[in-house]
Amino acid sequence: MKKVLVYFIIGFSLLSCKGQNEEFNDYISNFQEIKLPFLIDRRDSINRFYVREVLQSIPLNYIKQFVCEDSMHCDYDPSKYMYDYRYKFKMYSNFIVTFVSKGKDKGKTCYDFDLGETLLIVYSKDGKIIDEKSIAKDNDCWLSSIWVTDDSIKIQQIKVIELSDFNDINKELDCEIETKIYQIGDNGYINLIKTEPIKRGVLIFDKNIDDFILKQ
């Protein structure tokens, strides 16, 4: 009887693992695989005003399984938050690195209204979350660019600080520029290795891309 029970437990565990692996394989297959180096900017964001294309939403069950590190503290309410597939690449043959877009359309200021975040998530090959960080923001008051290479992920985050002329695209906008560099370690954890001092800059509107860029 004990042997039968042991075999039942082992069999159930194997079936559970197989089912989870199949779900992860389905989940991860929806990301666009990229070759490095690669640039991600806010036109790759979930933000509907800047995105280049209609993004594919992540189903709620996959959000809970593969996006939320802690199901007890997870922004998965579909009436408030949206999650979309973006990009993936493999690292060290042991890890799968993804960029997920997280969006919300409600907020009290321009800094959190209609906000798109870029989540960096590192998985083991069997779909376990090793580490996860929100690394960039994009909306009317935030602009980001993410430069991904073999050995680092460099984020330039721009914050608009001159809001009085915000609705006039012909006006220059004062901004702050912060640059951070991350590395993914041999253990799969995301490490912040450098934060550059915040700089001041000016944004101007570029009609060619229908968006603001830094004035050179």
Confidence (pTM): 0.86
d(CA 150, CA 101): 21
Q: What is the mean pLDDT of each run of 10 residues along the chain (216 residues)?
A: 46 48 96 95 61 79 91 82 95 93 90 93 96 94 95 97 73 95 97 98 90 90
Look at residue 46 in the predicted model and tell me its pLDDT: 56
Q: How many domains does the chain have?
A: 1
Q: Which domain range does residue 63 map to?
A: 2-214
Residue found by looking up tokens 């640039």 in the block: 39
Closest CA to 182 of 93, 95, 121, 100: 121
List CB contacts of 98: < 8 A, sequence separation 6 or more.
28, 31, 86, 87, 88, 120, 121, 122, 123
Q: DSSP for 32-43?
A: EE--SSEEEEGG
Task: Please report, for residues 77, 144, 162, the alpha-carbon distance to residue 158 in angstroms, rounded to integers and kept in the order given.
Answer: 28, 6, 12
Closest C-alpha among 206, 212, 209, 204 to residue 52:
209
Q: What is the pLDDT of residue 53?
A: 63
Please check whether residue 66 is in contact with residue 24, taking contact to mean a CB–CB distance below 8 angstroms: yes
- Write down the pLDDT at residue 152: 97
Alpha helices in 93-190 (DSSP H): none
CA distances (Å), origin 13, targets 7, 16, 19, 69, 71: 10, 5, 10, 22, 22
Q: For residue 44, what pLDDT is reported?
A: 66
Give the per-residue pLDDT at 69. 80
Residue tagged 């995105």 (tokens): 51
